[in-house]
């Protein structure tokens, strides 16, 4: 019986990209639906919530970079396999 290890290969790269993309989309939808349900607070608590929401929305734009990096890794795997 062969011992099979899960490894990153060229065949797994598209599945990984699609999985990460779907996970990111679900995360954005969850956060977009969660933020309006936060009750209105006053004082320092409201400032904290506003800062967290602002930072979270700003970080969502950077998540696209992770998809680009994963695609670049997949391309490098193909180039390495062909060389």
Q: What is the pLDDT of residue 35?
A: 87
pLDDT tens by residue, 68-82: 888 888 788 888 878
CB atoms within 10 A of CB 67: 13
Each domain of the chain, given as residue ranges in start order, spans 13-82
Instruction: Give the model's pLDDT for residue 6.
Output: 52
Among 7, 5, 8, CA closest to 70: 8
Query: pLDDT digit string (tens) for 22-58?
Result: 888 898 899 889 888 888 888 898 899 889 889 988 8
* Whether residue 8 has pLDDT greater than 60: no
């Amino acid at each position: 019986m062969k011992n099979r290890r899960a490894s990153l290969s060229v065949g797994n790269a598209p599945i990984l990209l699609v999985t990460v993309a779907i996970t990111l989309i679900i995360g954005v939808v969850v956060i977009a639906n969660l933020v309006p349900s936060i009750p209105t607070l006053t004082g320092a608590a409201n400032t904290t919530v506003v800062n967290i929401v602002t930072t979270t929305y700003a970080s969502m734009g950077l998540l696209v970079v992770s998809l680009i990096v994963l695609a670049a890794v997949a391309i490098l795997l193909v180039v390495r396999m062909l060389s």
